[in-house]
Amino acid sequence: MDIVSETVEKAVVERRFDLKVGTEVVPGIHWLPEEPAPSHPTVLIGHGGTQHKRAPNVLALARALVRHLGVGAVALDAPEHGERVSDPEAASKARRGLEQRLGADSGSERRGVSESWRSVMAARIPGHVREWQALIDDLQTMPAWSAGPFGYWGLSMGTSHGLPLVAREPRIAAAVLGLNAVASADDPQASLAAKITVPVLFLLQSDDELMTRDAGIALWDALGSGQKTLHLNPGGHIDVPRFEREAAEQFFRRHLLA
């Protein structure tokens, strides 16, 4: 991990780093308390589709976790997101397409994302899971950075990455997932969810333009975890209430600090 820059804002240290994974250079951010405990947990924050490692909700969550729990937080740009966009025009088009879907009538029959978008996203998942695992490896080389345990927070696309990561990675002790669904009878997300056994907080929006409520609940049903709580709120995909951040803090406090 190469530290590119380090700043302190609102009592939170923010380190911009580059992580080399194979031939890829993955830009990320590590947020830390100014005086971290010698051995502290870290929460991995997976951003949503068309977002990036320092999107407003990612930054706000990271700072809240550092300030209120004294843990570290890290975020990476997902493939073709943030500083990793190779074709800005295609990225803009994807963002506009998503924005149109999110403005669509939630009563529409056309909920869900297109097959082509789904397959493009799916192809990027295995590589990004390896990047998260490489980041955990790297963090653990420096006890001052993080001795674990690790938490994972990621909604929507962050859950598409989080399901295989949490299913495979024993160093992750608890996860906040959601805004995602079992899209079809053969959706591999259901079997990945079944492999997850750590506590999960799962967020859904009742009028999500990208999925039916039943398909979202089916993904919660599929989770193998004995302790899994679904939080359902009214509104669309981007309307997750602010207080769910507080619920996530409470969840990580219980499972990473107890």
d(CA 175, CA 172): 8
Within positions 189 to 208, which residues make up the interface with a copy of itself, using CB under 8 A?
206
Site of tokens 């009538």: 105
* Interface stretch with a copy of itself, choices 57-65, 73-81, 176-184, 218-226 (CB under 8 A): 218-226
* Interface stretch with a copy of itself, choices 15-23, 56-64, 71-79, 215-223 (CB under 8 A): 215-223
Q: Nearest distance from residue 40's CB to a copy of itself, in Å?
A: 22
Residue 54, token pair as written in the block: 């320092």
Decide: is 88 part of the binding site for a copy of itself (CB under 8 A). no
Q: Write phi, then psi, for 224 (nearest 5 degrees).
A: -80, -5
d(CA 185, CA 101): 23
255 closest CA partner among 227, 217, 231: 227
Residue 62, token pair as written in the block: 């990271």
d(CA 164, CA 114): 21
Helix (H), strand (E) at residue 13: strand 12-21
Q: Nearest distance from residue 257's CB to a copy of itself, in Å?
A: 14
Interface with a copy of itself (CB under 8 A), residue total: 19
Decide: is 237 part of the binding site for a copy of itself (CB under 8 A). no
Q: Nearest distance from residue 234's CB to a copy of itself, in Å?
A: 6
Decide: is 85 part of the binding site for a copy of itself (CB under 8 A). no
d(CA 195, CA 113): 24
> Cis ω on the peptide bond leading into residue 149 (within 30° of 0)?
yes
176 closest CA partner among 148, 150, 199, 209: 199
Decide: is 220 part of the binding site for a copy of itself (CB under 8 A). yes
Indicate which single residue of 140, 191, 197, 233 sits in contact with a copy of itself (rule: CB under 8 A): 233
**DSSP code of 184?**
S
Q: Angle 148-258-253 (CA atoms, 0-180°, nearest 5)?
A: 80
Q: Nearest distance from residue 209's CB to a copy of itself, in Å?
A: 18
Indicate which single residue of 193, 228, 238, 248 sits in contact with a copy of itself (rule: CB under 8 A): 228
Within positions 96 to 155, which residues make up the interface with a copy of itself, using CB under 8 A?
none
Decide: is 246 part of the binding site for a copy of itself (CB under 8 A). yes
Indicate which single residue of 226, 239, 245, 257 sits in contact with a copy of itself (rule: CB under 8 A): 226
- What string marks each residue from 156 to 195 as x (binds a copy of itself by CB under 8 A) or -? ----------------------------------------
d(CA 64, CA 50): 23
Decide: is 231 part of the binding site for a copy of itself (CB under 8 A). yes
**DSSP code of 78?**
P
In this complex, which beta carbon is closest to a copy of itself, that of residue 33 or of residue 224?
A: 224
Contacts with a copy of itself, residue ranges (CB under 8 A): 206, 217, 220-221, 226-234, 241, 243, 246-247, 250, 254
